[in-house]
Amino acid sequence: GKGGIGKSTIASNVSVAFAERGERVLHVGCDPKHDSTVAVMNGEMIPTVVNRDFGPVAVASDIVRVSASGVHCVEAGGPQAGVGCAGRGISLTLEILDRAALLSADRYDVVVFDLLGDVVCGGFAMP
């Protein structure tokens, strides 16, 4: 979807709403502006996946931060708007989530991805 229409606001509120219902929630922010994870984390910017140097083993505690509402957050990060390819950051994040076993079926009840609406350079065409 188009920028500025509320995707990040909706994604962050959906994550918190599920957590308040007792669901185990992983919220993955994939917007270089960090909009949704900052909202879930009450204004705190968390470290990004693209700015970390991962060795052969990736562990959840390296990238997951827990909000006051109990939502587990990961932020992909990426280049500033108009510079570079955000799709590469998203691809790296998906790889690290897999290596850290964060997407295993029994770990979370709900996983919310806040994706950009126009990432095409990394192979994504729509959210």
**Catalytic positions, written as ranges:** 2, 7, 33, 118
Judge residue 88's burial from the number of C-beta atoms within 10 Å of its C-beta, 0-12 exposed, 13-18 middle, 19 or more buried: middle
Whether the CB-CB separation of 103 and 112 falls below 8 Å is answered with no
DSSP state of 120: -
Scanning 1-127, the segments in alpha helix (DSSP H) are: 7-20, 35-40, 60-63, 86-99
CA 55 to chain centre: 20
Whether the CB-CB separation of 47 and 34 falls below 8 Å is answered with no
Scan for tokens 């994550």, then name that residue: 15
